[in-house]
Structure 1
Amino acid sequence: MTRPVVKRSVKRKNPVETDEDSGKDDKCGTNHETTPKEPVETAEVPVERPKRPKRPKRPKRGYHTYKNGMLNVTPKGPQMDIAKTNQESSPLFRLPREIRDIIWKYVFGDMVFEAAGPTHESRIIVFWNQSCRHHVPLLLTCRQIYSETALLPYQVCPYQVCGHNHSIMQYFFPALRKIKAIHRQHIRRVTLSVSWLVNTRSDFAEVATVFCNLLPGLQYVTFFCDLAPYTREHLGKLQTMEDNIRTYVASIRTHYPAVTFDIEGGDPEEVAEDMRSAIFGPRV
């Protein structure tokens, strides 16, 4: 059999335009050039996408905190078995809670925190006794110890501001504001340098109001009489200093009626004792 012959139609391409052809078009007056069309501006309508609900930010695994900043050390899952084992096997945790509280107070009770001044720009609160700086890491030993002792450094340790600059309170208040509110609420003791009241012209009522707003749980205020660097001329201003202390105590008592005040020294001790007797009366 012979295959049928299929005829295919081939489209010829347009011939290449030559200079002669272009010249003919020019003579005829025709113009094949086309002007480009201007793009039409269209207003883009923003597409509203449904917003995803924000996920609460959580710290790294194993370091969950409450809203007040305290660590959440409640044992969960397999940690519950570990906590139960510690309660039964640890000699420390087998002691009664009252005995453990006495031990914790011995560990943290001798610490004194001092507001950092211009010489400690990188730190807010420094240890007055540097040998005590190794006691705080005890809080990171385990969950049980943290839950029992996290607030003790604030409850039993005094926070003092000392020096001989009448503007010392200008960095004591900022130092307190750097502490979390949950911790400031448990600060019980504050020690103030009497030398701060030598030539001060502060508004005691305003200072006491700020002081009380920062430390709502204050119970003890001690005025430390350290007058060694002062000369006899400065010691002649004791009456003015006593009046300033009386005004300051009265301003604080308007916010804290039950606060206990005391004066300790220092150099010279006789001055501190005389000042205490003049302001608060003789010791009982």
Structure 2
Amino acid sequence: MAPQKPFARSVLLNDYTIIGSQIKVAKKKPKARNSSKPSLRRKNGTLNVAIRARSELMQISAKHNSLNSPLLRLPGEIRNKIWNYAVGYHQINISHSSYGRSSPIVSSCEVRPLYTNANLRTFIRPTFQLYKVCRQMYVETSAMIYMLNTFGFKGSGTFDRWIKKRAIGQRRLINSVDIPYEYMRLYRGGFRKLFREKLPNIKRIGVDMLVPYFSQHLGEDSLEMAKQRVIDFIKEKEGECVKVGWHTSMVGSPLTY
């Protein structure tokens, strides 16, 4: 009788242990997470950078910031004003592009002042990297990027992908968006969820001016009447507290805020 070949362990059993010669399998128990160590992320998807107030690390960080950083030792009210000017009140227009079906999608954004009376010649485009400098700056500025800016999107696909990649903690911070024309058509047709389901604290929804323009009844009403119908529709769906603004396109300026 020919000798039997040694048993070759299947790669499918990497998560199991072999007991005795009868090759019984028992699934390994997952390692329990050490609850004494803080998680790097909160349940809402945002980073957890909290330090215990009485910990040695907090004392070292506070002392270092107060002695070595002229910016961080300023009063909190002054720092907040600086952060507002640095990362807030911008129109951030996001676009996704690809050179083919098999090519990766490349994200890019155009940033400009939110208010049209700003001097574009002296405008310095922010990089929104301030929150990466240190733990304290992350705590004080990361939420402002979403709360104080208006986000516009080139096409419904761009908006869908961008929202899908945002953690729930980030989506809860977004207050103002400019919606593409084709996305608003899907929304009004019932093919997209309510904005308050995706963005629970939304306060302003910007609508492309093409929406009321193509919604006019031929020879029956004016553009203002068509705009009012759009406003009434959105407020009925999203609530009276939501403000409806207007924008021309991603390359144009918002007409209202």
- Name the TM-score class by shorter chain: 0.5 to 0.7
Q: Match for residue 80 of structure 1?
A: 58
Letter of the 1:107 counterpart: A
CA distance in 1, matches of 2:203, 2:41: 28
TM-score (norm 2): 0.64
Secondary structure of 2:82's counterpart equals: helix
% identical aligned pairs = 22
168-177 or 211-220: bigger deviation:
168-177
Q: 1:63 to 1:216 in 2, by over 3 A?
A: closer
For structure 2, the residue ranges without an aligned partner over 5 or more in a row are: 5-20, 113-122, 218-222
CA distance in 1, matches of 2:192, 2:169: 20
Checking the alignment, whether the CA contact within 8 Å between 2:92 and 2:152 is kept in structure 1 is yes
CA distance in 2, matches of 1:258, 1:236: 24
Letter of the 1:132 counterpart: R
Which structure shows the bigger proportion of residues in strand conformation?
A: 2
1:258 positional shift: 0.1
Q: Match for residue 54 of structure 1?
A: 31
Deviations 1:14-68 (A, max 9, x none): xxxxxxxxxxxxxxxxxxxxxx69x9xxxx644354733424499xx99922232
Which among 20, 40, 52 is matched to residue 64 of structure 1? 40
Secondary structure of 2:41's counterpart equals: coil
Q: 1:215 to 1:244 in 2, by over 3 A?
A: farther
Q: Match for residue 213 of structure 1?
A: 197
Letter of the 1:154 counterpart: Y
Q: 1:118 to 1:248 in 2, by over 3 A?
A: farther
Deviations 1:123-174 (A, max 9, x none): 446243495352x211111111101111111000101135xxxxx3243222
Larger radius of gyration: 1
Secondary structure of 2:129's counterpart equals: helix
Checking the alignment, whether the CA contact within 8 Å between 1:86 and 1:93 is kept in structure 2 is no
Checking the alignment, whether the CA contact within 8 Å between 2:45 and 2:167 is kept in structure 1 is yes
Q: Match for residue 185 of structure 1?
A: 172
Across the two proteins, how many residue pairs are aligned to each other?
211
TM-score (norm 1): 0.58
Letter of the 2:158 counterpart: Y
Q: Match for residue 151 of structure 2?
A: 159
CA distance in 1, matches of 2:233, 2:192: 6
Q: 1:79 to 1:127 in 2, by over 3 A?
A: farther
Deviations 1:161-195 (A, max 9, x none): 35xxxxx32432222111111101110011235xx
Checking the alignment, whether the CA contact within 8 Å between 2:187 and 2:193 is kept in structure 1 is no
Letter of the 2:244 counterpart: F
CA distance in 1, matches of 2:131, 2:213: 48
Checking the alignment, whether the CA contact within 8 Å between 2:215 and 2:226 is kept in structure 1 is no
Matched, 1:128 2:111: yes
CA distance in 1, matches of 2:107, 2:46: 19
CA distance in 1, matches of 2:33, 2:156: 38
CA distance in 1, matches of 2:136, 2:160: 33
Structure 2 counterparts to residues 1-284 of structure 1, below 5 A: 45-49=22-26, 51-56=28-33, 64-75=40-51, 78-89=56-67, 90-118=69-97, 122-124=105-107, 126-129=109-112, 132-134=125-127, 136-162=128-154, 168-192=155-179, 196=181, 202=186, 204=188, 206=190, 209-223=193-207, 225=209, 237=214, 239=216, 245-253=227-235, 254-263=237-246
What's the RMSD between the two structures over aligned residues? 4.1
138-147 or 211-220: bigger deviation:
211-220
Deviations 1:227-276 (A, max 9, x none): 8xxxxxxx98573576664444333322232011233568xx9xx98xx9
